[in-house]
Amino acid sequence: MTTALAFEALLALLLLWSAWQTLATPQMDRAVIMFIVFGLLLTLVWSRLQAPDIALAEAALGAGLTGTLLLDALTAFRQPNRSAKHGRVLAAFRRFPALLALLLLAAALLTSLTRLPLPAVDLPAAVAGQLGSSGVSHPVTAVLLNFRGYDTLLEVAVLLLALTGILAVGLPAERPLLSLNQLVPTLARSAVPLMVLAAFYLLWAGAHRPGGAFQAAAVLAAAAVLLNLSQLQSRWLPTQHWIRLVVGAGLLLFVGIAAALLAGGGLLRFPPGQAGLLILLIESGLTVSLAVNLAAFYLLRTSSSGQWAGQEDSHE
């Protein structure tokens, strides 16, 4: 018991330390690395809190994909020897009100969390009570795809929207990546098949244990990014129609099933008999389209001319 407590205390301290390091360091690359460390520590925290679904998502999306995106942004905007020491005292004074407000908020949060009342509504019991007619046996999947499937539908739209936003802002030109190229190809050749296998397992497992479309898609996207890092996969161009079609198809399938179920009396009202099959269908579609969607955040790049508008590219 005491070992567990000591481990948890150490974990909490490390989490705070890495968060502080991320914010306080003047070097951007160090901040990004510390952000990834923070994400990995948070993964451990979630698994200690018996929340393996969130731990999986945090590892794949929070630390993995976000970390890669930040590293990528860093290479794009790298400025030689940019020093943040200049004007540091002034900056500290400017930050003081914000810091004070945050400390007050943190204190208020801690105080209120220690005296939370006992919830009047027992939602976990309600979930457990209806799990039998949800079509799946894992409560998290039941909530995500059945009880609150409407939220998930809109979240999928948010991801597609984020991709549209990236396209609207315009894409930077392709450029050489971090100097990982020597080591990575061998690693990638053996890791990527395993990652694809893991993604299928996660998709299948989602029905009865931690896993599901989002985690499976994140692993597939990570595999695509790894292939690119090891120069086995070139970047994608916005002119490639299949990317948009695959990303759009997942959401359309979800909306289509949701709307078709209106005939049975309600949006997304799964008939208990077919719920399992329909959820697997939706999740399979989402795994593919979300994988392409997430990978596109990283892999979509413009041609070297800097103008992606409409022109087929000669660079690739």
Residues that bind other proteins (CB under 8 A): 105, 108-109, 111-113, 115-117, 119-123, 126-127, 130, 146-151, 154-155, 157-158, 160-162, 164-165, 167-170, 241, 244-245, 247-248, 251-252, 255, 258-259, 262-270, 309-310
CB of 157 to other proteins, least distance (A): 6
CB of 195 to other proteins, least distance (A): 27
Placement of tokens 């705070």 in the chain = 16
CB of 153 to other proteins, least distance (A): 8
Provide CB contacts within 8 A for 190, sequence distance 6+.
Answer: none
What is the C-alpha to C-alpha distance for residues 49 and 226, in angstroms, rounded to an integer? 30
CA dihedral (62, 163, 242, 235) in degrees, to 10, reads: -60
Q: Are 241 and 169 in contact (CB under 8 A)?
A: no
Judged by beta carbon, residue 209 or residue 269, the one nearer other proteins is 269
CB of 267 to other proteins, least distance (A): 5
Q: Are 258 and 281 in contact (CB under 8 A)?
A: no
CB of 40 to other proteins, least distance (A): 22
What is the C-alpha to C-alpha distance for residues 192 and 189, in angstroms, rounded to an integer? 6
H or E stretch at 57: helix 52-57
CB of 234 to other proteins, least distance (A): 21
Judged by beta carbon, residue 198 or residue 213, the one nearer other proteins is 213
Judged by beta carbon, residue 96 or residue 150, the one nearer other proteins is 150
Q: Which residues pair with 302 in a beta bridge?
A: 173
Could you write out the DSSP letters of every residue in 244-295? HHHHHHHHHHHHHHHHHGGGGTSTT---TTTHHHHHHHHHHHHHHHHHHHHH
Q: Are 34 and 14 in contact (CB under 8 A)?
A: no
Q: Are 71 and 34 in contact (CB under 8 A)?
A: no
Judged by beta carbon, residue 202 or residue 213, the one nearer other proteins is 213
CB of 114 to other proteins, least distance (A): 10
Judged by beta carbon, residue 55 or residue 188, the one nearer other proteins is 55
CB of 90 to other proteins, least distance (A): 21
User: Which of these, 47, 39, 56, 64, lies nearest to 214 by C-alpha position?
Assistant: 56
What is the C-alpha to C-alpha distance for residues 210 and 55, in angstroms, rounded to an integer? 10
What is the C-alpha to C-alpha distance for residues 23 and 12, in angstroms, rounded to an integer? 17
Judged by beta carbon, residue 161 or residue 232, the one nearer other proteins is 161
Judged by beta carbon, residue 76 or residue 123, the one nearer other proteins is 123
Judged by beta carbon, residue 136 or residue 258, the one nearer other proteins is 258
CA 155 centroid distance within chain: 12
